[in-house]
Structure 1
Amino acid sequence: MTPDLAAISPKQHLSMVKSTARINLWTGAIRSGKTISSLLRWLQYVANEAPQSGVLFMVGQTKDTINRNLFEPLQDPAIYGPLSRFVHYVPGSDFAWIMGRKVFLVGANDVKAFRRIRGSTCAGAYVDEVTLLPPNFLTELLGRMSLKGAKMFGTTNPDGPAHWLKVEYIDRARELGIRHFTFTLDDNPSLDPEYVESIKREHSGLWYQRLILGKWVAAEGIVYDAWSPEAHVVRTMPRIDRWFSVGLDYGTTNPLDAILLGRGTDEHGVTRIYAGSEWRHDPKVAKIRLTDAQHSSNLQEWLQQTPREDGSTERGVRPDFICVDPSAASFMEQLMADRVHGLAPADNHVLDGIRTVSSLIAMDRLRVHESCKPLISELSSYSWDDKATEKGEDKPMKVADHAVDALRYGIHTTQTLWRPHIGRLTHAAA
């Protein structure tokens, strides 16, 4: 069976024709067409080329990401047309049927994941977001591809230039016989030009280089490089339509920091997220360490005394969620005992959260009230860790990061509450 090539670009078509090596990699920008073309190639391979003996695998960080990134589009007739009829998968299952072949699904989110394929003879594999997998898993997978004609097809967005996939495989592509195809956002002609311009405006610095231009560049310098106190700090607040969250970073010897976040519309009709108030206890400054019960009491008092900013002169706000540092188990228990409303463990996917905040800043959809002095200071100084970058890792420095962590918790965890109102912000799939 041959995939329908009518709707894909010449570059996508070429990558399908040329992906005949043992290892085939599609890397580059988000929404650049690499996933569509690589999955079409995978369907073609499973139907016509894969060895009849051996096991076929589809690999991702988790089964949830495999379903979301791969099977949701594969089973959508609007994307893959009649080919979607040959893809049968029930979310949560350990396997799928593709082109009449049984394909096993493997989540590989830790260094022990390689055990899930140990002992198998692999006839072929499709690997989603290769850079997010442990390197020992890929080593094990390739070692299992001993059958003649077995092939791997993998996709990923770029990472740092010292990442193991770049150093050990892509930089050695000619030596290892790897076929490597790179894409930029502009390589996908099917996208609406307005959408393309919008998504370009959402990204700056590191994220623009990687996710728009498809470059393998290092995380260096200031994390929020588009942040400007002159542009993003406000003296007065607009009417706040909804206080949707408090992001809270917990500390005992370190500061405990909480940021109150609301959605408001200014006099020009632009809706933004506003960091309206900040509460911090720094034991080194106060010369006293507080108990969890004292922190809980102070948090509630702070919220009771905060102006509503809804056109009234009353005080006291009740945000939808209080997104607590997921490592703060004891404090969460205290808040629950005190019946604090809207408790939720914060989403602590650091890079995803940084990208969310960075997009808001780049699109001028985040403003900070001048009273949030620790947050303003940290946004200006929050930096990437150079030592981690040298090891191929993207990590911010763990210095003066309590307020920015609280901001990230409160924003990234509650995206469903504010995204429909903020405008054309998107974290489009690859």
Structure 2
Amino acid sequence: MTSNNEVCNLKLPEVIGKGYKDFWKFKGRYRVVKGSRASKKSKTTALYYITKLMQYSNANLLVVRKTYRTLHDSCFTELKWAVHRLQVDAFWDFKESPLEATYKPTGQKIYFRGLDDPLKVTSITVDVGCLCWMWIEEAYEITSEFDFDMLDESIRGNVPDNLFKQITLTFNPWNERHWIKKRFFDKQDPNILAMTTNYMCNEWLDESDLKVFEDMKTNNPRRYNVAGLGNWGIVDGLVYENWEEREFNLQEIVKTHNLKTGFGLDFGYTNDPSALFCGYVDLQNKELYVWDEMYEKGLSNRKIYENISKMGYVKEQITADCAEPKSIDELQTLGIRRIRGAKKGKDSINNGIQWIQELKIIIHPRCVNFITEISNYSWDKDKFGNKLNKPIDDFNHLMDAMRYGLEQYIVGNKWLY
């Protein structure tokens, strides 16, 4: 590195772009960035940490998400991208088992941890220097402020005079009720930088990218306010309020409950994720245990099959969206023999919702996408703000998959879609 502003003769402002000057310079304990889609928040954070780790020879970084398995395709990949963009590939070594990155000239490390294994988060011992920085990506997934406090306490101890301790949170602001808003955005504190970014600060978007947001602005202004402008999502009139997040051992539950499986699949591809709901229902006690999920864009039918196979559910009976019979046929041919199409009919969505509303829904903490959806799945409104008797057409991929998966248990088999 030739200077603070250059990496291998690259000028950082040209590599990073605009909109993050305060973010780059701030050295207080908390940097909190809520932003829209394509606002560069994750990529800028990755570029920042690669640059600063090479600048501060005693610094180490801990990267955290709620579940460990989501780190590979998000932060790990973003940091590898940043290394390549800064043209410093020769100085970094990335390994995948476990996820870890090492700056070879000094031995500094980037550690990756999930809150699903809290002991590994709080017991990190570094080989070189000190653990002074933490990046929490998709911080909205952390629904318990207590869990954040545990993370906060792990960045402690003395640091060299030229270093500083700092925690960076990046997230999409889906829900204004989240504890992050009150803790970081609703008060003034010199130790906090709370900022909002959106796609308009991303100078590398082309016309087709911008058109996505312009169409969203016209067709779905509610979503545009959050996913486009980065404003807080105002959640009013939730469809489901009968749920709680709670860790549970499925094998222990099976011993004391008469559980039946409920697996549902909603197809997506470019703009929407393919979503697999994996649940177990106790009909007698009216309890639904949400155990696992798949939630990913860009999946071919073969890749959907491979994912379900790796998850261990290829032999389960899966009820899928009947709007894609070719996809169902292909998945059957590939090896998911017990997949079938859901039944659809008049008032099917509302009938399914009413039935599920009678259940107590217990969600395993690793089902982060399910928690995000159910926290935001609400009744739609007309242009005057009056509630309609239909849910919004958003945050509904796993919600739809849940209804498909539970279809077979509706009393009298009258639950039609």
State the TM-score, normalizing by the size of structure 1. Answer: 0.53
State the partner residue of 1:177: 191
State the partner residue of 2:209: 195
Q: Are residues 1:128 and 2:142 paired?
A: no
How much does 1:249 deviate? 8.6
CA contact (8 A) 1:57 1:125 kept: yes
Which structure carries more strand by proportion? 2
Alignment-mate amino acid for residue 131 of structure 1: Y
Among 54, 57, 75, the alignment partner of 2:62 is: 57
CA contact (8 A) 1:64 1:92 kept: no
The CA distance in 1 between the partners of 2:97 and 2:148, in whole Å, is 23
1:194/1:247 Cα in 2 relative to 1: closer, same or farther (>3 Å)? same
State the partner residue of 2:18: 10
Alignment-mate amino acid for residue 72 of structure 1: T
1:126/1:377 Cα in 2 relative to 1: closer, same or farther (>3 Å)? closer
Q: Secondary structure at the match of 1:10?
A: coil
State the partner residue of 1:146: 157
Q: Secondary structure at the match of 2:87?
A: helix
The CA distance in 2 between the partners of 1:103 and 1:67, in whole Å, is 16
User: Between Structure 1 and Structure 2, how many residues are aligned?
Assistant: 290
1:171/1:85 Cα in 2 relative to 1: closer, same or farther (>3 Å)? farther
How much does 1:375 deviate? 2.4
1:404/1:108 Cα in 2 relative to 1: closer, same or farther (>3 Å)? closer
CA contact (8 A) 2:17 2:202 kept: yes
Alignment deviations for residues 232-253 of structure 1 (CA, whole Å, 9 cap, x no partner): xxxxxxxxxxxx9999998757
The CA distance in 2 between the partners of 1:140 and 1:175, in whole Å, is 21
The CA distance in 2 between the partners of 1:72 and 1:90, in whole Å, is 11
1:113/1:88 Cα in 2 relative to 1: closer, same or farther (>3 Å)? same
Q: Are residues 1:108 and 2:114 paired?
A: yes
The CA distance in 1 between the partners of 2:323 and 2:62, in whole Å, is 56
Q: Secondary structure at the match of 1:31?
A: coil
The CA distance in 1 between the partners of 2:199 and 2:352, in whole Å, is 29
State the partner residue of 2:412: none
Alignment deviations for residues 119-171 of structure 1 (CA, whole Å, 9 cap, x no partner): 76632222212221343333233223333422222311113222111111232
Q: Are residues 1:408 and 2:414 paired?
A: no
The CA distance in 2 between the partners of 1:10 and 1:405, in whole Å, is 36
Q: Secondary structure at the match of 1:11?
A: coil
Q: Are residues 1:166 and 2:184 paired?
A: no
Alignment-mate amino acid for residue 17 of structure 1: W
Q: Are residues 1:89 and 2:116 paired?
A: no
How much does 1:11 deviate? 1.0
The answer for unaligned runs of 5 or more in structure 1 is 224-243, 255-295, 311-316, 323-338, 345-367, 385-391, 413-430
Structure 1 segment 6-405 matched on structure 2, within 5 A = 6-12=14-20, 14-49=21-56, 51=58, 56-76=61-81, 80-98=85-103, 100=105, 101-110=107-116, 113=118, 116-118=121-123, 122-133=131-142, 134-143=144-153, 144-148=155-159, 149-172=164-187, 174-175=188-189, 177-201=191-215, 204=220, 206-221=222-237, 252=283, 319-321=329-331, 341-343=337-339, 372-375=345-348, 377=350, 394=375, 396=377
Q: Secondary structure at the match of 1:82?
A: coil
The CA distance in 2 between the partners of 1:151 and 1:245, in whole Å, is 35
How much does 1:57 deviate? 1.1
Q: Secondary structure at the match of 1:90?
A: strand
The CA distance in 2 between the partners of 1:26 and 1:188, in whole Å, is 15
Alignment deviations for residues 320-343 of structure 1 (CA, whole Å, 9 cap, x no partner): 458xxxxxxxxxxxxxxxx98244
CA contact (8 A) 1:246 1:321 kept: no
Alignment-mate amino acid for residue 147 of structure 1: N
How much does 1:409 deviate? 5.1
CA contact (8 A) 1:58 1:103 kept: no
CA contact (8 A) 1:73 1:79 kept: no
The CA distance in 1 between the partners of 2:402 and 2:43, in whole Å, is 32
Alignment-mate amino acid for residue 158 of structure 2: L
How much does 1:176 deviate? 5.0
State the partner residue of 2:290: none
CA contact (8 A) 1:58 1:127 kept: yes
Q: Secondary structure at the match of 2:212?
A: helix
The CA distance in 2 between the partners of 1:155 and 1:65, in whole Å, is 15
Q: Secondary structure at the match of 2:203?
A: coil
CA contact (8 A) 2:66 2:115 kept: yes
* Structural RMSD (CA): 5.0
1:373/1:249 Cα in 2 relative to 1: closer, same or farther (>3 Å)? farther
State the TM-score, normalizing by the size of structure 2. Answer: 0.54
Q: Which has the larger radius of gyration?
A: 1
How much does 1:64 deviate? 3.4
CA contact (8 A) 1:249 1:406 kept: no
Alignment-mate amino acid for residue 190 of structure 1: W
The CA distance in 2 between the partners of 1:404 and 1:74, in whole Å, is 29
